[in-house]
Structure 1
């Protein structure tokens, strides 16, 4: 009984160690680029990661869309990756599709917009 418990713990430890090392490894080219780029941040200051920058860009686009009161942004989803914005979801009026894209393109830092918005169909069929 003790041998199986010890063996199980050893296997669990090996799996945990292997998964930690897998998470720690990154793309070699990204690591080389990160080492080559000079850092201008003050010691102790947090350097924003790509994920943080994408989240900030996404929030900026949502805020810009939300300022236009004629657009119901509740069914619009925004994804950001390196300045590229992807819009998905539904709007109530066909004119809003182009308007949302225009607003997203106007946000500083946005390099491209992929618009996959559709018009929400009414339940009445009219």
Structure 2
């Protein structure tokens, strides 16, 4: 009796798991292409939005800063949200603070820059 009950429960669990991963299929090829076109139109035809756009802008700012060999970008953090860029971290010279901000402002897509960069203190804090 217990073996039968366990077997029935196992089959029921497998059937439930299988039905959870089932996808509806279009009836014919024309409805499939119409569905794909609707998804592409709704997504904006490949234009990055939201987090993707923020990540792309962040990478562009990092790349622009990295092109300037006089700046060590290893201690600089860049955050981007809807075109607003926030710079934080440390630089080795005080003049680099403004320079990094100017570079970030020159990147296409950046609407504003908040500069929280500080000058790195020498070893020992003096």
TM-score by length of 2: 0.63
Q: Give the 5 Å matches for 1:1-126.
A: 39=42, 41=44, 46-125=46-125
Between the aligned partners of 1:102 and 1:46, the Cα distance in structure 2 is 30
Aligned residues: 93
Q: Which runs of 4+ in 1 moved over 6 A?
A: none
The alignment partner of 1:108 has SS state of coil
Computing the radius of gyration over CA atoms, which structure comes out larger, 1 or 2?
A: 2
Match of 2:22 in 1: none
Between the aligned partners of 1:40 and 1:77, the Cα distance in structure 2 is 30
TM-score by length of 1: 0.63
User: How far does the alpha carbon of each residue in 1:57-102 deviate from its partner, in whole angstroms, 9 at most, with x for none?
Assistant: 0000000000000000000000000000000000000000000000
The runs of 5 or more residues in structure 1 that have no matched partner are: 1-37
CA shift, 1:39, in A, is 4.7
Change (3 A) 1:123 1:106: same
The runs of 5 or more residues in structure 2 that have no matched partner are: 1-40
The alignment partner of 1:109 has SS state of coil
